[in-house]
Amino acid sequence: MGLFSRNKKDKKNSCCCDSSCAPETMVQTETDKASIGIKVLGSGCDKCNALEQAACEALAELGMETTIDHVTDFTQIAAYGVMTTPALVVDGQVVSYGKVLKKDEAKALIEKVRG
């Protein structure tokens, strides 16, 4: 029965999400993960936008002039190991996922990472 069997040859060019990502895309994603900054990972839904707003308000209270990148590409989100969005990434480290943080929660996490 060949329902569940796949040749290993078929998977040699695939990535972790089982699509045919180009090696250049994967290298770029790994480079982006290591970059300094704040990222919101998610599809762009209301919850993701609410997390972005809370993070923006937290940064304003902390006096930090950091832009927030909103990552909607699921290949990049998967590279962070995040399976539940929205997620907040501070300087390459996933600090929260699967819930919308309040401003004070986001502020505390940013302070913890950035010390």
Domain ranges of the chain: 15-110
With b meaning 16 or more CB within 10 Å and e meaning fewer, what string describes 98-111?
eebbebebbbebbe
Q: How many other CB atoms are there within 10 angstroms of residue 79's CB atom?
A: 22
The class that CATH gives domain 15-110 is alpha beta
Q: What is the pTM of this model?
A: 0.75
Reported as a single tens digit per residue, the pLDDT across 22-65 is 667 666 666 666 678 999 999 999 999 999 999 999 999 999 98
Q: Which amino acid is it at 62?
A: L
90, 109 contact by CB (below 8 A): yes
Reported as a single tens digit per residue, the pLDDT across 61-89 is 999 988 899 999 998 898 899 999 999 99
